[in-house]
């Protein structure tokens, strides 16, 4: 099966340039993945006849068509071609949203001042990738795809952290004139094509007023839990009737009280996402003040169920982690860092957690935490900042039922000419599984009717081996059991040990 992926634009050499590194998945009689080469060509070899579903797995692009159903009979399937288009990035915040004018530098000149680092949040960001030519179209020029930040008309050094977060460095030579600058994110295509986000305004300005504190905010502020605007009092110095309070670098209704106080309004839309929301003040033509970080907390998670609700104690030394599913509500995931999610804790110890949804988590509990019978407390904590962990739900750990597979006492035998009431102690190697640390061996002698009694001693070497010392008082069939203590546990099925008599 062969095909090509090309850019929908024909900017270079009047042709649609082939796109490298576009992933494909194939399902059907054979499950496989591949990616396009430097020419934009992909190939699946050695496929048996049958019906296949070919699916594109692009990152940062739209692909047409989205997938194909292909039937292979006795020949190759060719010309399975696709075209890509750029996805439009969006920008929600730029932090900081202002910088002091750099009057010492001139446009285009080198400066000894450090660059201004900004963080941009949004969507549809992809890491820049440089390719060194494309033999399919005859294009021998380098080209770069991915997301970059535009500061006014200048492309600035950009690092894509994840699809919703990037950082950029603004050279001091770009900060020589006071005023507003438009900041955009541009997604670059392989043919020199691009698509820009809507702009946000960045201020290059003079020294700001001073912000010392913010008071009057409700406490706590839970993300998504505020339904009406509230006001905060901003304290500092250098305020004028034109001073504006900004929340997340967006201007908000402001009331001037005096040169040391202004009152600003925080909207419900400002506090829908958990995190630290910057509150600043700004005078005309000034940059933002040092921000006050308003804590917007993740809600308290609620745990309703742990499945399974009980586990067998993991008594083996090489026991694997145990997976459990946690059901509930308010399980959170940081939208700016998808790896920062609600975490499951077992007796206060964080365990590996997979975020499934706001109502479900999957956790891997290390075997060491469930090696001893008892009751474990399972809780969930949301990412920081959070208000509190969830309620605790019990997870019961019980001893497993032991099983004996073999007993070995060597060439043990009994001399029938031994004196009355004579005996000797014989070590017996007991092999099996699920022997708990407190397992006890029991033995039933054929010489009397007293039934099972504890072995003289029980030494557990591992979950699969015990050495028990039992009394030998006569020839015959001895029955041996292993008992794991409660909770759970119980007696294994008895296994026979034959002691022969000697003449």
pLDDT of residue 386: 94
- Residue 213: pLDDT over 80: yes
Read off the pLDDT of each residue in 283-311 and give the average, rounded to a whole number: 95
* C-alpha count within 13 angstroms, C-beta hemisphere, residue 469: 6
Hey, which of 141-150, 225-234, 328-337 has the most confident mean pLDDT?
225-234
The residue among 381, 406, 399 whose CA lies nearest residue 497 is 406
pLDDT of residue 26: 86
pLDDT of residue 365: 95
pLDDT of residue 107: 44
pLDDT in tens, 402-456: 999 999 999 999 998 899 889 999 999 999 999 999 999 999 999 999 999 999 9
- Residue 467: pLDDT over 50: yes
More confident residue, 440 or 138: 440
* C-alpha count within 13 angstroms, C-beta hemisphere, residue 82: 28
* Whether 202 contacts 151, CB under 8 Å: yes
176 contacts: CB under 8 Å, gap ≥ 6: 101, 102, 103, 105, 106, 107
The model's confidence at residue 336, banded by pLDDT at 50, 70 and 90, is: confident
* φ, ψ of residue 305 in degrees (nearest 5): -160, 145
The model's confidence at residue 127, banded by pLDDT at 50, 70 and 90, is: confident
Q: Which of 95-104, 211-220, 299-308, 354-363 has the lowest mean pLDDT?
A: 95-104
61 contacts: CB under 8 Å, gap ≥ 6: 19, 22, 84, 85, 86, 87
The model's confidence at residue 262, banded by pLDDT at 50, 70 and 90, is: very high
What DSSP character marks residue 258?
E
Q: Which string of DSSP letters, residue by residue, matches 358-411? A: TTEEEEEE-GGGGSS-EEEEEEEEPSSSBS-----EEEEEEBPPPEEEEEE--S
227 contacts: CB under 8 Å, gap ≥ 6: 268
pLDDT in tens, 31-89: 888 888 877 788 888 888 888 888 876 656 677 776 677 777 767 777 788 777 778 89
pLDDT of residue 10: 53
Mean pLDDT of the chain: 88
Q: Which of 50-64, 76-90, 244-258, 281-295 has the lowest mean pLDDT?
A: 50-64
* φ, ψ of residue 268 in degrees (nearest 5): -55, -35
What is the share, in percent, of the chain residues with pLDDT greater than 70?
90
What is the share, in percent, of the chain residues with pLDDT greater than 90?
65
Read off the pLDDT of each residue in 230-258 and give the average, rounded to a whole number: 96
Read off the pLDDT of each residue in 310-326 and give the average, rounded to a whole number: 91
Q: Tell me the three-class secondary structure of 286-317, residue by residue.
A: ECCCCCEEEEEEECCCEEEEEECCEEECCCCC
* Whether 475 contacts 416, CB under 8 Å: yes
Question: In this structure, what is the dihedral angle of CA atoms 119, 121, 126, 127, given to the nearest 10 degrees?
Answer: 10
- Show the CA angle centred on residue 461, arms to residues 464 and 454, nearest 5°: 90
pLDDT of residue 189: 73
pLDDT of residue 155: 92
In angstroms, the CA 446 to CA 501 distance is 13
pLDDT of residue 335: 85
Read off the pLDDT of each residue in 304-312 and give the average, rounded to a whole number: 94
Predicted structure pTM score: 0.67
The residue among 424, 439, 444 whose CA lies nearest residue 486 is 439
- Measured from the Cβ of residue 265, the count of other Cβ atoms closer than 10 Å reads 15
pLDDT of residue 126: 84
- Residue 140: pLDDT over 60: no
| Beta-ladder partners of 128 | none
The residue among 292, 252, 286 whose CA lies nearest residue 269 is 252
What does DSSP say about strands 403-408 and 424-433: parallel, antiparallel, or unpaired?
A: antiparallel
The model's confidence at residue 304, banded by pLDDT at 50, 70 and 90, is: very high
The model's confidence at residue 137, banded by pLDDT at 50, 70 and 90, is: very low
Q: Which of 22-36, 128-142, 168-182 has the lowest mean pLDDT?
A: 128-142
pLDDT of residue 303: 97
Radius of gyration of the chain (CA): 36
């Amino acid at each position: 099966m062969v095909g090509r992926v090309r850019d929908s634009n024909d900017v270079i050499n009047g042709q649609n340039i082939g796109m490298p590194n576009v992933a494909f998945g194939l399902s059907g009689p054979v499950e496989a993945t591949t990616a396009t080469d430097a020419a934009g060509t992909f190939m699946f070899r050695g496929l048996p006849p049958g019906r296949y579903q070919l699916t594109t797995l692009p990152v940062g692009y739209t692909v047409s068509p989205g997938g194909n159903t292909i039937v292979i009979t006795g020949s190759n399937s060719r010309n399975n071609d696709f075209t890509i288009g750029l996805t439009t990035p969006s920008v929600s915040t730029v932090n900081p949203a202002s910088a002091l004018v750099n009057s010492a530098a001139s446009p285009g000149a080198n400066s000894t001042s450090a660059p201004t680092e900004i963080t941009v949040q949004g969507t549809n960001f992809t890491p820049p990738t440089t390719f060194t030519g494309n033999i399919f179209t005859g294009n021998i020029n380098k080209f770069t795809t991915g997301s970059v930040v535009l500061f006014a008309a200048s492309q600035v050094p950009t690092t894509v952290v994840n699809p919703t977060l990037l950082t950029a460095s603004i050279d001091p030579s770009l900060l020589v004139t006071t005023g507003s600058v438009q900041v955009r994110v541009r997604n670059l295509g392989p043919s020199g094509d691009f698509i820009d986000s809507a702009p946000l305004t960045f201020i290059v300005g003079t020294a700001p007023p001073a912000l010392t504190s913010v008071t009057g905010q409700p406490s706590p502020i839970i993300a998504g839990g505020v339904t009406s605007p509230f006001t905060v009092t901003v304290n500092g110095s250098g305020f004028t009737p034109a001073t504006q309070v900004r929340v997340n670098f967006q201007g908000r209704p402001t009331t001037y009280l005096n040169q040391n106080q202004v009152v600003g309004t925080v909207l419900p839309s400002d506090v829908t996402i958990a995190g630290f929301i910057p509150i600043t003040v700004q005078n005309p033509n000034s940059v933002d003040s040092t921000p006050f970080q308003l804590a917007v907390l993740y809600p308290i998670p609620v745990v309703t169920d742990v499945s399974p609700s009980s586990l067998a104690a993991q008594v083996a030394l090489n026991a694997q982690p145990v997976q459990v599913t946690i059901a509930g509500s308010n399980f959170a995931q940081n939208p700016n860092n998808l790896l920062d999610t609600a975490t499951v804790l077992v007796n206060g110890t964080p365990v590996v957690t997979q975020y499934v949804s706001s109502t479900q988590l999957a956790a891997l509990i290390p075997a060491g935490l469930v090696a001893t019978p008892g009751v474990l407390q399972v809780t969930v904590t949301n990412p920081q900042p959070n208000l509190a962990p969830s309620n605790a739900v019990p997870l019961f750990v019980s001893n497993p039922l032991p099983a004996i597979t073999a007993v070995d006492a060597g060439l043990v035998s009994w001399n029938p000419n031994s004196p009355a009431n004579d005996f000797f102690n014989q070590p017996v190697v007991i092999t099996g599984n699920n022997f708990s640390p407190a397992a006890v061996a029991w033995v039933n002698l054929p010489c009397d009717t007293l039934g099972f009694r504890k072995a003289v001693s029980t030494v557990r070497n591992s979950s699969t081996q015990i050495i028990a010392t039992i009394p030998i008082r006569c020839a015959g069939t001895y029955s041996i059991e292993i008992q794991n203590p409660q909770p759970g546990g119980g007696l294994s099925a008895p296994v026979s040990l034959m002691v022969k008599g000697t003449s």
